[in-house]
Chain A
Amino acid sequence: MALSEQEILAGLGEIVEEIVGTEPSDVTPEKSFVDDLDIDSLSMVEIAVAAQDKFGVEIPDDQLKDLKTVQDVINFIQK
């Protein structure tokens, strides 16, 4: 069963809060992880692994670098 965009967004908000302490309400689709949410590359790896666990979707390393915004991750998971 496919998750809705809202469900994925909420799940990503929880992950980002757990890993870097950002308020989940700040994790909105248009935000860039690096430029807006101030997330460094090592934390991005942790977020990707946590997202894989939560949503059961494998994110290959060569695609991770293309996932710049929260919306990019939502799209990838929905695909």
Chain B
Amino acid sequence: MSKTDVVVTGLGATTPLGGDVATTWSALLDGRSGISMLPEDWHEKLPVHFAGQIAQEPSEKLPRPRLRRLDRTQQFALIAAQEAWADAGAPEMDPLRLGVVVSSGIGGILTILEQYDNFREKGWKRVSPFTVPMLMPNSPAAAVALEFTARAGAHAPVSACASSAEAIANAVDMIRAGRADVVIAGGTEAAIHPLNIASFASMRALSTRNDDPQTASRPWDKDRDGFVMGEGAGILVLESAEHAAKRGARVYARAAGVGYTNDAFDIVQPDPEGAGQARAITQALTDADLKPSDIVHVNAHATSTPAGDVGETRAIRSALGDSAADRVAVTSTKSMTGHLLGGAGAVESIATILALHDGMIPPTINTSELDPEVAVDIVLDKPREMPGGDIAAINESFGFGGHNIALAFRRA
């Protein structure tokens, strides 16, 4: 039986580079960094003084009474979902055929920490009655479902930094399984807080390049020293090709295939052989009915950590084979956005889709000297034009816990 074709008909984002997709995308093509300094009073206690903080605060888009009952993850998700839904033409549809899959890697941790402060300082009565519906990790999915009256199901797969890529994969599966015609899918993260910075810093996972924060995220550079924490959300509207055609929707790309694997190697370290990552790519290709030579571009997970970046390029080479791997153009947009954790896979899927749609691959910035072990061609400093024709690209996302997700998008 042939699979239902799934297409992307709407995009929305709020990121360290801009409050919407258009500003984020133009900043990515311009090679701009979205990294900025954290509040002064955090510096003394932390080894890291910068992060990829959102470019446009939710208070510019949502009224105050709504903000106070939504965790920041929900605020980002709603803002991005509103943009994506409008971008898709706000289709009139049966609520029973509209689904939601929106993830967060960590959940409403800012709510937890803020309410814990309230509890300790002022007592239980001063804990917001909205604490529970704000902190639960399914709260962004639930908020989006409420906003758009999506009754086919609302899901929130959690796989750390692979969460929003997994959400998109689940959404594709949901449409293929016939459970929905349209799914609003993606992810969100809002975890910039001293405790979380301290937690990642204590793993020695973060860059400490405090004297030059905008060059700190430098995937594959010889002197990379860790990732830069970011916040934000990306949301896609996915739709069965049949439903999209019937309503004459504009199609950005086909969501052609998905691959899910787990390393089962270590709770945080990626398998240095990249076998699980390579299997995810292979699965996505098979699922999409694509050949390795169809893949012209990979938006890599590459977070700028010493351990992860190089192994990923080996996995790409092993999955695609030498001849396709020699021609694939690989980039890491995290060099500009920082690492959006549970928002990363969705924002980077948007970059992958727009690269196919607009024919331009955003560059990797800050990488002045490539690690000699990098096994593929990296798009450095300047955007690169894509070839024409029926081509495809892959977005990869990996998460603590060994999760590997590969998403294959194909030019429509």
Interface residues of A (CB under 8 A from B): 17-21, 42-43, 45-46, 49
Give, as a whole number of angstroms, the nearest-CB distance from A16 to chain B. Answer: 9
Complex alpha-carbon distance, A4 and B188, angstroms: 47
**Is A46 touching B128 in the complex (CB atoms < 8 A)?**
yes
- Residues B46-72 near A (CB distance < 8 A): 63-66, 68-69
**A18 touches which of B65, B125, B128, B129 (Cβ 8 Å):** B65
Interface residues of B (CB under 8 A from A): 63-66, 68-69, 125-126, 128-130, 133
In the complex, the 7 A-B pairs of residues with the closest C-beta atoms, listed nearest first: A21-B65, A42-B129, A45-B129, A20-B65, A21-B63, A42-B130, A49-B125
**Is B129 touching A21 in the complex (CB atoms < 8 A)?**
no
**Is B66 touching A21 in the complex (CB atoms < 8 A)?**
yes
Residues of chain A within 8 A of B125, CB atoms compared: 49
Chain B residue at minimum C-beta to C-beta distance from A20: B65
Complex alpha-carbon distance, A5 and B251, angstroms: 60
**Is B66 touching A49 in the complex (CB atoms < 8 A)?**
no
Residues of chain A within 8 A of B128, CB atoms compared: 46
Complex alpha-carbon distance, A49 and B68, angstroms: 15
Give, as a whole number of angstroms, the nearest-CB distance from A19 to chain B. Answer: 6
Interface centre among B63, B64, B129, B130 (most CB of A within 10 A): B129
Complex alpha-carbon distance, A45 and B128, angstroms: 9
**Is A49 touching B65 in the complex (CB atoms < 8 A)?**
no
**Is B63 touching A46 in the complex (CB atoms < 8 A)?**
no
Residues of chain B within 8 A of A46, CB atoms compared: 128-130
Complex alpha-carbon distance, A20 and B66, angstroms: 7
Give, as a whole number of angstroms, the nearest-CB distance from A18 to chain B. Answer: 7
Complex alpha-carbon distance, A17 and B68, angstroms: 12
**Is B64 touching A21 in the complex (CB atoms < 8 A)?**
yes
Residues of chain B within 8 A of A19, CB atoms compared: 65, 68
Complex alpha-carbon distance, A62 and B128, angstroms: 19
Complex alpha-carbon distance, A46 and B68, angstroms: 11
Residues of chain B within 8 A of A17, CB atoms compared: 65
Residues of chain A within 8 A of B68, CB atoms compared: 19
Chain A residue at minimum C-beta to C-beta distance from B68: A19
Complex alpha-carbon distance, A15 and B102, angstroms: 33
**Is A49 touching B130 in the complex (CB atoms < 8 A)?**
no
Residues of chain A within 8 A of B129, CB atoms compared: 42-43, 45-46
Complex alpha-carbon distance, A45 and B132, angstroms: 14
Give, as a whole number of angstroms, the nearest-CB distance from B28 to chain A. Answer: 35
Complex alpha-carbon distance, A18 and B68, angstroms: 9
Residues of chain B within 8 A of A42, CB atoms compared: 69, 129-130, 133
A–B pairs, 22, beta carbons within 8 Å: A17-B65, A18-B64, A18-B65, A19-B65, A19-B68, A20-B65, A21-B63, A21-B64, A21-B65, A21-B66, A42-B69, A42-B129, A42-B130, A42-B133, A43-B69, A43-B129, A45-B129, A46-B128, A46-B129, A46-B130, A49-B125, A49-B126
Chain B residue at minimum C-beta to C-beta distance from A44: B129
Complex alpha-carbon distance, A60 and B285, angstroms: 62
Give, as a whole number of angstroms, the nearest-CB distance from A17 to chain B. Answer: 8
Residues of chain B within 8 A of A45, CB atoms compared: 129
Give, as a whole number of angstroms, the nearest-CB distance from A73 to chain B. Answer: 17
Give, as a whole number of angstroms, the nearest-CB distance from B136 to chain A. Answer: 14
Residues of chain A within 8 A of B130, CB atoms compared: 42, 46
Give, as a whole number of angstroms, the nearest-CB distance from A78 to chain B. Answer: 22
Known: A42-B133, A46-B130. 20 other contacts (CB 8 A): A17-B65, A18-B64, A18-B65, A19-B65, A19-B68, A20-B65, A21-B63, A21-B64, A21-B65, A21-B66, A42-B69, A42-B129, A42-B130, A43-B69, A43-B129, A45-B129, A46-B128, A46-B129, A49-B125, A49-B126
